[in-house]
Amino acid sequence: MSALQETALQRPEPPHKRERRKQARPGELLDAALCLFVEKGFAATRVEEVALHAGVSKGTLFLYFPTKEDLFKAVVHENIVKLFPAWNEEFKSFVGSSGDMLRFAMVTWWNQMGNTPASGIVKLVMSEAKNFPDIAVFYQEEVIRPGHGLLRQILARGVSSGEFRALDLDQAVYTVVAPMIFLMMWKHSIGACAATSDIVDPERFIHTQVDVLLHGLTASPTL
Amino acid sequence: MSALQETALQRPEPPHKRERRKQARPGELLDAALCLFVEKGFAATRVEEVALHAGVSKGTLFLYFPTKEDLFKAVVHENIVKLFPAWNEEFKSFVGSSGDMLRFAMVTWWNQMGNTPASGIVKLVMSEAKNFPDIAVFYQEEVIRPGHGLLRQILARGVSSGEFRALDLDQAVYTVVAPMIFLMMWKHSIGACAATSDIVDPERFIHTQVDVLLHGLTASPTL
Amino acid sequence: MSALQETALQRPEPPHKRERRKQARPGELLDAALCLFVEKGFAATRVEEVALHAGVSKGTLFLYFPTKEDLFKAVVHENIVKLFPAWNEEFKSFVGSSGDMLRFAMVTWWNQMGNTPASGIVKLVMSEAKNFPDIAVFYQEEVIRPGHGLLRQILARGVSSGEFRALDLDQAVYTVVAPMIFLMMWKHSIGACAATSDIVDPERFIHTQVDVLLHGLTASPTL
Amino acid sequence: MSALQETALQRPEPPHKRERRKQARPGELLDAALCLFVEKGFAATRVEEVALHAGVSKGTLFLYFPTKEDLFKAVVHENIVKLFPAWNEEFKSFVGSSGDMLRFAMVTWWNQMGNTPASGIVKLVMSEAKNFPDIAVFYQEEVIRPGHGLLRQILARGVSSGEFRALDLDQAVYTVVAPMIFLMMWKHSIGACAATSDIVDPERFIHTQVDVLLHGLTASPTL
DNA sequence: TATGAATGAGTCTTCATTCAT
DNA sequence: TATGAATGAAGACTCATTCAT
């Protein structure tokens, strides 16, 4: 809403910093909280830390979020919505083989989500789902259902074009989902421990996954 | 029920009740801890609760596990690390195609681990790895490294027999690991919320995964 | 009494009650701690008790002193270390014989320290030194070293004026220190037990000590 | 009672170790406790540690001493009695000047007590007197009263022989007591901290104390 | 709104003491 | 007597939450 004002024509004086900050508070808190929750988990993050990171006092945080749990829910809520930009559109207009489309989907998924703090949200949701059942439901509705729907369409496209085999689509989507979710979880757990030697390179990982996904491990019979 | 066996004839000396309990304590505590950690997470589980579940007092727990963190480590060790020696043996003697071997590996993995509370520990380790760096390290050493080694051998066997294509084995192992870890994570997060509609059936999931893993999504060129 | 001054006219702004309390907190806590530590010893004093005595809650204490041990250190600092700067000044301006100076030193020492709760802290430090090595070190640096230095100067003054014999000053300082420390210890141990009959009267004790210190027990040769 | 048996004429077989140990238990416990209480203080010493040092189990300790406090009292009790060997006799037969006698008393006191674990008892009693009032009373009766009596006699001897000035004996005894008690306390507190630089050499300390005690700090008028 | 001092319920951990064997 | 497993009361410390300013 203040967007209108902010983009007003060459307005000579920028709005009072105070005012701008005031408006921005909840967002800054959510950003700080996202960052810390992702880094340390829900339980291990102290609300005071979040407030400090956002540059406000502990009391102010509770002005906007009556509870640590509420803060958490808001963080996830806020960031889950962002998880689905205009992907659907993008895919409707995709031109090319379904194999390429699948690869494109996974690479895009990684670039726009896995490679951003949003992947931390996924990890957070997976880690805390049982402690926040309504988040799980919300996530299911807002992310999983549409996400799976999208992937289903891609697979269905391939099947109907004869490029893919006949597939049990309900199951096959997990064929795409599993490696991506795994990669995000890995990145934010084992992969985040410096001492761990077995580091996964996301690009190569995705490349291999798509490759095997399309052609399987088995050697071609005639070749 | 096993009481019958325990009171069987010519039992040389029944262990004193006290003694029996003494021996059993750590195990009972570990069981209780496994149960509660999996159900509520590490931070949300109170040590006293664990003790009570095991039928002992808080103090007794600290007799065996000097620290809550030590208890957690012991649970991980008991439920994950201990599984590996047997697995290694099992696979050495496998007879059959590498495809069957891969399927056998994944089904066994699920039956002996995914389908038991141990899978909850896997989820916990992924969730808490960053808070317990030394657990992450020893998990890497004791579980991931040998586990990946085992899978690598299976894949290598297939490659050298000509059954599988030439593969970048370092990457290909994740092709097997990812769906399994994903399945365990799912089961203990989104999948554990009753409200969630999109429930995954492990058997069908694994079946599909193996199928696609072996033959890919792509339809056979000539057939 | 200074209240009069505080409410004097044109007082710009009376400090908010909250603010006043805030400023006073550490001091009140220190007073309470002094009192309780002296009365019951370090180990036997519960931090909550200290807080309650200061009229605040347990949590508030930890706001100012992160640790029980830190509280103890602060008490020592506040009650012992802080006395020294003033003393040093006081003695620089003393006029009179060195014998009088010595008497003055001991009487002052007693009045300003021995006769106050601070003497209890001295006793506590002696009692607990081995359990708090870093307190022992800083007590040595901040109290013993400057204190002995001061006494040394007094004795040196007497020696160089010819009033005192040539003395091994390093040893002679203990001649002054020993009775004073003894008196404080006594007051807070044996002397504090009502049942004990053999009560020491500090004034007479010091009087006798100074007397013997200056003239010895031996009868004058010529008289 | 078993003393009789134990001193039996050249008994060929030494008593069962077990039996001997059994008899010795309380003594070993008291020794261990003395050692640890002196080293770490009452509160910081764990009863289990004492038991371990004595080579028995925690339970056994409580067989002999129903309470940690009882153990403490027994330790002090036991060792306080030892503080007065046959000193009185020794002094009755002393031949020499009263100055020499005083020096002899202090040196002996140090050698037979200050320099032995008994000095730890003195420190313990001074430190814990207020928490154990009956120990204070007992100590007063058994140690302080006779001790002061002895010193009083020495001083009285000097006074009546004209070697010492007329003295308020009740006060003058502290002239001898204070440095000795101080020295013992020092040894077991500040002096026991390695980091402390200002270490007191007992022999020189006593030498100086006696010297000043007899002749004072003041230079002889005529010389 | 914003602050940050204050709170106190909650948690881990210790350790003297008990008691079945 | 001796053991050592078990107990549970007690205490230090944390941190989400409140509230006067």
Domains and CATH numbers, chain C: 3-67 (1.10.10.60), 80-215 (1.10.357)
Q: Taking the C-alpha atoms of A156, A162, A164 and A166 in order, what is their torsion angle to the nearest 10 degrees?
A: 70
Instruction: Please indicate whether residue C65 or residue B195 has the higher confidence score (pLDDT).
Output: C65
What pLDDT score does B85 carry?
78
Cα distance between residue A44 and residue B129, in whole Å: 12
The token pair that represents C85 in the structure block = 């700067």
Q: What is the dihedral of CA A207, A208, A214, A220, to 10 degrees?
A: 130
Residue A4 pLDDT greater than 60, yes or no? no
Which residue from C126, C171, C216 is facing D216, i.e. has the nearest CB? Answer: C216
What's the gap between Cα D17 and its chain centre? 32
Q: Is the pLDDT of residue D12 over 80?
A: no
Q: What is the per-residue pLDDT for A163?
A: 93
DSSP string, D34-69: HHHHHHH-STT--HHHHHHHHTS-HHHHHHH-SSHH
Q: Who wins on pLDDT, A2 or A51?
A: A51
Give the three-state DSSP class for A164: strand
Whole-number distance in Å between B163 CA and F15 C1': 59
- Higher local confidence (pLDDT), A50 or C142: A50
- Tokens read off for D136: 């204070």
Residues of B in contact with A214 (CB under 8 A): 216-218
Kind and range of the H or E element at C103? helix C98-109
Question: Length of chain A, please?
Answer: 223
Burial status of residue C20 (CB atoms within 10 A of its CB: 0-12, 13-18, 19 or more): exposed
The whole-model pTM stands at: 0.87
Q: Which of strand E's nucleotides are less than 7 A from any protein C-beta?
A: 1-21
Closest CA to C215 of D150, D172, D157, D98: D172
Q: How far is the CA of B45 from the C1' of E20 (A)?
A: 32
**How far does C98 lie from chain D, in Å, by closest CA?**
10
> Quick one: average pLDDT of C71-100?
88
B204 contacts A174? CB cut-off 8 A? no
Contact C88, C126 (CB under 8 A): no
Q: Kindly report, residue by residue over C165-193, the tens digit of the pLDDT.
A: 999 999 999 999 999 999 999 999 999 98
Helix residue ranges, H only, B110-168: 118-128, 133-139, 145-160
- Please report the pLDDT score of residue B93 as a whole number: 83
Q: Is the distance from CB of B141 to CB of A198 less than 8 angstroms?
A: no
Residues D110-141 have pLDDT tens digits of 998 899 888 999 999 999 999 999 999 989 98
Instruction: Using the Cα atoms of residue B156, residue B160, residue B161 and residue B167 in order, give the sign of their dihedral.
Output: positive
Residue A193 pLDDT more than 60?
yes
User: Residues 49 to 78 of A: which have CB under 8 A from any B CB?
Assistant: none
CB C127 within 8 A of CB C119: no
Counting as low any pLDDT under 50, the low residues of chain B are 1-20, 222-223
Separation of alpha carbons D131 and D127, rounded Å: 9
Instruction: Please state the rounded mean pLDDT for residues D190-204.
Output: 82
Alpha helix stretches (DSSP H) within chain A: 2-6, 17-40, 47-54, 58-64, 68-81, 87-92, 98-109, 118-128, 133-139, 145-160, 169-187, 202-215
pLDDT beyond 50 at A199? yes
Q: Which range has highest mean pLDDT (A172-186, C187-201, D196-210)?
A: A172-186
Phi, psi dihedrals of residue D164, rounded to the nearest 5°: -105, 155
DSSP A217: S
Residues in chain B closer than 8 A to A164 (CB atoms) = 217-219
pLDDT tens readout for residues B181-194: 999 999 999 999 86
Q: How many CB atoms lie within 10 A of CB D222?
A: 7
